Amino acid sequence: MSHHTIKFIASAAVLLAFTQTTQAANFNWTGGAATDDWNEDANFGGADISAITTADQLVFAGAGDSNAPTADFVFNAEADVTARDNVVITIGTGVNISGFNQFRLAANSGLDGATLTMTGGSLSGASMTVASSPSATSDSFFNVSGGALATTGAFLVRGLGNVNLNGDDASLSVGSVEFQNDSVLNATFDSSGISTIASAGDVSIGASALLNFDFSSFAETGVFELFTGTIVSSYDLANVTGLGALSGGRTATLGSDADSIFVTIAVPEPSAYALLVSLAGLVFVMVRRRA
C-alpha cells in the first residue's frame, strides 16, 4: 500500500469521526424523572444533557411534554429549543433559561403549534420565532405577563403566530422585531399600562398583521410605547382594533415616528369635548323632531 493511500485512509477516518461526533442530535423530552427540571437526564430519555452541542436541539413534542421548568437551565452550547404539537411551556418566577440559539414554536409543517407562557423568570438567547412553520396546522402563542425576554437577534412572529402581551410587568429586549403578515398582537393594558417591546435594531409590522387593544382595565391617560427601535415598516390602521372612544371621555389613538410605535390615551380639550357634546345633542334633537 502506497504512502499516499495510507494518508487518504487516515484522513477519511478522521473526517468520518469528526462527522459522527458533530452530527446533530435531538434531546427529546420524555419526563422520565417525573419532574419538570430540564437538568435531569432522565427527563430526556437518559441522554446526557450536559453533552449538548450547537448542532443539537431540545424537542418538546406533544401535549404530554407540557411542563413548567422548576430550576435554571443554562445551555453549555447554543442549541435550539423546539416546541410543537400542542406543547405548553410555562416560565415562572425564579426560573431562568439561558444560552439557547433559537427558541422555536411550531417548527414543523403539518403539525400543531405550541404555547409559551411567561409569568416571571427569564428567557435569554440568540433568537425566538413564534410559529416558525407557516404551514403548521394550528396557531402558536407567546403569552407574556411578566419576566424578561432578551435576545441578541430576531424576535420573529410569523403567520399563525400570536403574541398576547398583558400589562406592564414584562421586560422585552430584542435584537430586532418582525410581525409578519397575518400575525397577531393582542395588547391588554392593566392598571399601569403596557410593556414595551424594545428593539436594538429594526421594527417591522406587516401590512396585514393584526394589532388588537384592550383598555377595559385601564382608566388613566398618557403616552405608552408599544415598540421602540428603527421603524422600517409600520402597521395598517385597517387592521387595528380597540382604539377610539374609551370610558371617561377618553380617546385612544395609535401613532408612530422614526423610533417608536406608541398609544396615546387622552381626554379631548374642554372646548373640543363641549363641541362633541353639543353636536351629539343637536343630532338627538333633530332625530326627535323628525320622529
Q: b/e string for 153-184 if b means 16 or more Cβ within 10 A?
A: bbbbbbbbbbbbbbbbebbbbbbbbbbbebbb
The answer to whether position 266 is within a domain reads yes
Q: What's the pLDDT score for residue 1?
A: 56
Q: What's the pLDDT score for residue 90?
A: 98
Which range of residues forms the domain containing residue 181? 83-290
Number of neighbouring beta carbons within 10 Å of residue 57: 19
**For residues 58 and 27, is the Cβ–Cβ distance under 8 A?**
yes
Q: What's the pLDDT score for residue 23?
A: 64
Q: How far is CA 2 from the centre of its chain?
A: 60
Rounded CA separation 47/41 (Å): 5
Q: What's the pLDDT score for residue 268?
A: 85
Q: What is the DSSP letter of 37?
A: -
| Mean pLDDT over each residue of the chain, to the nearest integer | 88
The answer to whether position 283 is within a domain reads yes
Rounded CA separation 179/196 (Å): 15
Name the grid cell of 55.
448542532
Q: What's the pLDDT score for residue 156?
A: 98
Which amino acid is present at 16?
L
pLDDT over 90 at 272, yes or no = no
The answer to whether position 40 is within a domain reads no
Q: Which residue has the higher pLDDT, 185 or 285?
A: 185
Q: Which residue has the higher pLDDT, 12 or 92?
A: 92
Average pLDDT, stretch 28-48?
A: 97
Name the grid cell of 80.
435550539
The answer to whether position 17 is within a domain reads no
Q: What's the pLDDT score for residue 283?
A: 41
The answer to whether position 103 is within a domain reads yes
For the stretch 229-239, pLDDT in tens is: 999 998 999 99
Q: What is the DSSP letter of 67?
A: B
Nearest to 193 by CA among 163, 170, 173: 170
The answer to whether position 55 is within a domain reads no
Q: What is the DSSP letter of 193?
A: B
Average pLDDT, stretch 65-82?
A: 96
Number of domains the chain is built from: 1
The answer to whether position 29 is within a domain reads no
The answer to whether position 184 is within a domain reads yes
Average pLDDT, stretch 254-269?
A: 95
